[in-house]
């Protein structure tokens, strides 16, 4: 009896961990996938913005003395950096073909990496969770850090908000229409470039938000961007490029596979994700929820 109870709470714990990881992946992949869907643009530097979010968040928390200010302002700064990138590089690269886009944004990863090294140094930096969230909550027979629950809630809120905007508002309909058929959207009078820019900025802000939110759990390191880039790309590909539902589904799948894989079959866990990726690509080359027919 004692053992069963132990077991159940162990699995609840793992589920929450998976959910929390999935939410981080979601915050990153949703921006990447919507940007890809709209701009047909692969921004490998998206995860660098996540890293910048974490570092900027740490500095801002030190500056303002409040985690909450950091959580609010860092994404806005990252959005500003994204807007700068858009005007200097990305707008010009839009018609340059995928190979050039990959090369340039791959190069950007190293630029940001070095900038962070210069600005913050090479050692991992921590960020303390805000006092209100630094304890643990006791429920369902487990103790779980309240900050991790906060991340789950934050991801869920962003998910619900994005779903509402995309599914229920005029601007959401404009975005879905432009993802599906850019030319026809423009023929209906939609300023597609402005819409793209807006969406790009929001995607960057979400990457920054993910970075600040992750800092108290994972610490900020110069490799954090590169580490999360691969799973994020996998989420985007298996979910379906350009699809919000795909990003949700993909994040949950990869989050759970990663956490449960590590528990159940530690020696295969790394392989598991790639096997899934290959299987999805064979079975549904456009992803589980394709945005375009």
Partner 1 sequence: MLELVGVESGYGETLILHDVHLSVCAGCVHAVLGRNGAGKSTMLKTIIGQLPTRQGVIRFGGRDISNLPPNQRAKLGIAYVPETRDIFGALSVRENLQLAARLAPPNQGRNPKGWNIDEVLDFFPQLAARLNHSGHQLSGGEQQMLAIGRAMMMAPALLILDEPTEGLAPLLIEQILQKLTALKAQDITILLVEQNLHFASALADEISLMGRGQIVWHGTAAALHKDTKAQANWLGV
Location of structure tokens 């939110």: 213
Nearer to partner 1, 5 or 167 (CB): 167
What value does the CA radius of gyration of the chain take, rounded to a whole number of Å?
19
Shortest separation between residue 192's beta carbon and partner 1, angstroms: 7
Shortest separation between residue 175's beta carbon and partner 1, angstroms: 10
Binding site residues, partner 1, CB under 8 A: 170, 173-174, 176-177, 179-181, 183-192, 291, 293
Instruction: Tokens for 272, please give them.
Output: 């598991």
Backbone angles phi, psi at 181, to 5 degrees: -155, 90
Distances 260 to 102, 229, 272, 288 between C-alpha atoms, Å: 32, 20, 10, 21
Shortest separation between residue 228's beta carbon and partner 1, angstroms: 29
Nearer to partner 1, 173 or 272 (CB): 173
Nearer to partner 1, 83 or 180 (CB): 180
Nearer to partner 1, 220 or 291 (CB): 291
CA 214, CA 268: separation in Å to the nearest integer? 26
Shortest separation between residue 191's beta carbon and partner 1, angstroms: 5
In sign, the C-alpha dihedral spanning 193, 201, 252, 110 is positive
Nearer to partner 1, 133 or 173 (CB): 173
End-to-end CA, the chain: 52
Shortest separation between residue 94's beta carbon and partner 1, angstroms: 14
């Amino acid at each position: 009896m004692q053992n069963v109870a132990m077991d159940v709470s162990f699995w609840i714990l793992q589920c929450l961990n998976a959910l929390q990881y999935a939410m981080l992946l979601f915050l990153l992949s949703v921006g990447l996938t919507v940007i890809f869907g709209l701009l047909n643009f692969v921004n490998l530097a998206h995860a660098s913005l996540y890293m910048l979010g974490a570092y900027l968040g740490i500095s801002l928390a030190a500056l303002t003395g409040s985690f909450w200010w950091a959580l609010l302002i860092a994404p806005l700064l990252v959005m500003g950096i994204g807007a700068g990138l858009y005007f200097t590089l990305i707008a010009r690269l839009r018609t340059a073909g995928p190979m050039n886009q990959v090369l340039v944004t791959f190069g950007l990863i190293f630029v940001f990496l070095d900038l962070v090294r210069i600005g913050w140094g090479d050692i991992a930096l921590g960020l303390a969770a805000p006092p209100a969230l630094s304890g643990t909550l006791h429920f369902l027979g487990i103790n779980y850090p309240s900050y991790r629950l906060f991340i789950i809630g934050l991801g869920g809120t962003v998910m619900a908000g994005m779903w509402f905007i995309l599914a229920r508002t005029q601007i959401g309909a404009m975005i879905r229409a432009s993802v599906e058929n850019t030319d026809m959207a423009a023929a209906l009078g939609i300023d597609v470039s402005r819409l793209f820019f807006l969406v790009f900025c929001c995607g960057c802000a979400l990457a920054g938000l993910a970075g600040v939110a992750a800092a108290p759990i994972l610490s900020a390191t110069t490799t954090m961007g590169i580490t999360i880039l691969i799973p994020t790309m996998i989420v985007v590909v298996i979910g379906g490029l350009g699809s919000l539902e795909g990003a949700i589904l993909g994040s949950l799948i990869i989050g759970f596979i990663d956490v449960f894989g590590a528990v159940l079959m530690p020696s295969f866990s790394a392989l598991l994700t790639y096997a899934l990726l290959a299987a999805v690509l064979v079975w549904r080359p456009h992803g589980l929820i394709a945005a375009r027919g």
